[in-house]
């Protein structure tokens, strides 16, 4: 008998679709989660993927967009936001942290994130494009490893939080070490949710907080490291460098950072992602075991 050819499953298409803001959840003083109702639109994404939001759609931003396009000399591109939700949750969710304008460091004030954090209302329509991105677990992850190491900073927690929630339910053979770096305890997004997941899965999840601008560990995280993510600490978390897959997400050098440094005649100072990559190389974690997502 001839073997029956099995047609490969069609790849989900990237589509533009409308969502309605159903709920706004304050995570920290500058970060919200927007719960988005996409109606019948399929939720055929993978934990870790993102949607894009075109800034041109908001009437409230029209004059600012026109001004920025004038001074930057180019069209304002869409911004990407990782999905906080998992495909088995009933609604989509994205979590946005307001970026700050820092004189001398950032050239322009941020455009979309302040609006999404402080200007969104329940019932508002937001058109998104998705689902996109390769920052996902491979289908055969449990054949490759039993240990996922998450290394994230700031809003870089978002895709890893989704991956973690999904994998705790659907990939029972995996355990997770979740290293999360922030300036202060009040910057920590999903602090309560991460603590609850750790309590519910004591053998499969260990959360490590690194706080770079606190002088004492907060009562909620008495074991928090009061320093940047460093080599000794990561080495102890990772253990066998050949035995894990690493997912690392957070701020990285942008081409504008590199251009500005070049104009000053300096080497650009590595940001979170570059520093972690260097530490992982020193620890001997193979490059093929490392997946990164840069938030620039
Ligand atoms: C894959 C991915 C997922 C992301 N997920 C999240 C998330 O879950 N939550 C979250 O809060 N953020 C996330 N971000 C960051 C987010 O996309 C925005 O960059 C962030 O919200 C700031 O947008 P803004 O419009 O407020 O700032 P802006 O500074 O107005 O916009 C940032 C954009 O401007 C560009 N830019 C920076 N400097 C210059 C310059 N000097 N000249 C011209 N252009 C410049 C950047 O490349 C970027 O496209 C993600 C980014 C990526 C790439």
Beta carbons within 10 angstroms of residue 255's beta carbon: 8
Please give the tally of structural domains in the chain.
Answer: 2
As a whole number of angstroms, the distance between CA 173 and CA 168 comes to: 9
My answer on whether 237 and 212 are in the same domain is yes
Query: For residue 257, what pLDDT is reported?
Result: 87
In tens, the pLDDT along 257-269 reads: 888 888 889 999 9
**Which residue ranges in the chain fall short of pLDDT 50?**
1-4
My answer on whether 30 and 111 are in the same domain is yes
Q: Tell me, in angstroms, the distance from the centre of ligand 1 to residue 202's CA.
A: 35
Give domain status of residue 78, yes or no. yes
Q: Considering Cα of 120, then 38, then 291, then 149, what sign does the dihedral take? A: positive
Q: Taking Cα atoms as reference points, which of 37, 130, 136 lies closest to residue 78? A: 130
Query: For residue 9, what pLDDT is reported?
Result: 58
My answer on whether 124 and 147 are in the same domain is no
My answer on whether 220 and 116 are in the same domain is no
* The two three-digit tokens of residue 159, written as one number: 């895709």
* The two three-digit tokens of residue 13, written as one number: 């298409």
Q: Tell me, in angstroms, the distance from the centre of ligand 1 to residue 234's CA.
A: 27
For residue 219, give its domain range: 141-295
Q: How far is CA 155 from its chain centroid?
A: 6
Q: Does ligand 1 have an atom closer than 6 angstroms to the CB of 153?
A: no
My answer on whether 146 and 288 are in the same domain is yes
My answer on whether 33 and 177 are in the same domain is no
Nearest CA to ligand 1 atom 43: 72
My answer on whether 79 and 99 are in the same domain is yes
Give domain status of residue 1, yes or no. no
Q: Does ligand 1 have an atom closer than 6 angstroms to the CB of 58?
A: no
Query: For residue 188, what pLDDT is reported?
Result: 98
Give domain status of residue 48, yes or no. yes
Give domain status of residue 7, yes or no. no
Q: Tell me, in angstroms, the distance from the centre of ligand 1 to residue 10's CA.
A: 31
Q: What's the pTM value of the predicted model, to 2 decimals? A: 0.95
CATH number, residue 96: 2.40.30.10
Nearest CA to ligand 1 atom 53: 295
My answer on whether 121 and 152 are in the same domain is no
Q: Tell me, in angstroms, the distance from the centre of ligand 1 to residue 130's CA.
A: 17
Q: Tell me, in angstroms, the distance from the centre of ligand 1 to residue 296's CA.
A: 6
Q: Does ligand 1 have an atom closer than 6 angstroms to the CB of 95?
A: yes
Q: Taking Cα atoms as reference points, which of 57, 76, 58 lies closest to residue 66? A: 76
Query: For residue 13, what pLDDT is reported?
Result: 86
* The two three-digit tokens of residue 56, written as one number: 């041109």
Query: For residue 5, what pLDDT is reported?
Result: 52
Do 128 and 34 meet the contact criterion of CB atoms below 8 Å apart? Answer: no
My answer on whether 126 and 147 are in the same domain is no
Nearest CA to ligand 1 atom 10: 96
């Amino acid at each position: 008998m001839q073997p029956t050819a099995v047609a490969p499953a069609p790849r989900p298409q990237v589509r533009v679709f409308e969502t309605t803001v159903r709920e706004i959840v304050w995570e920290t003083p500058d970060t919200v989660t927007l719960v988005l109702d996409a109606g019948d639109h399929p939720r055929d994404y993978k934990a870790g993927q993102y949607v894009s939001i075109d800034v041109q759609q908001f009437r409230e931003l029209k004059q600012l967009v026109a001004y920025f396009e004038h001074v930057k000399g180019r069209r304002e591109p869409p911004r990407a936001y990782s999905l906080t939700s998992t495909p088995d949750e009933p609604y989509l969710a994205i979590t946005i942290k307001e970026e700050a304008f820092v004189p001398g460091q950032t050239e322009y004030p941020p455009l979309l994130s302040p609006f999404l954090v402080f200007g969104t209302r329940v019932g508002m329509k937001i058109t998104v494009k998705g689902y996109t991105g390769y920052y996902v677990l491979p289908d055969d992850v449990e054949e490759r490893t039993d240990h996922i190491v998450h290394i994230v900073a700031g809003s870089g927690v978002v895709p890893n939080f989704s991956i973690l929630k999904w994998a705790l339910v659907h990939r029972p053979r995996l355990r997770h070490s979740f290293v999360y770096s922030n300036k202060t305890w009040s910057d920590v997004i999903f602090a309560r949710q991460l603590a609850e997941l750790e309590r519910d899965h004591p053998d499969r999840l260990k959360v490590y907080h690194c706080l770079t601008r606190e002088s004492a560990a907060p009562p909620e995280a008495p074991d928090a490291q009061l320093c940047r993510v460093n080599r000794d600490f990561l080495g102890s978390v990772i253990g066998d460098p050949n035995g894990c897959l690493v997912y690392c997400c957070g701020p990285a050098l942008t081409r504008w950072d590199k251009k500005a440094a070049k104009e000053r005649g300096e080497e650009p100072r590595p940001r979170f992602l570059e520093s972690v990559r260097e530490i992982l190389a020193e620890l001997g974690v193979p490059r093929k075991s490392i997946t990164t997502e840069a938030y620039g």
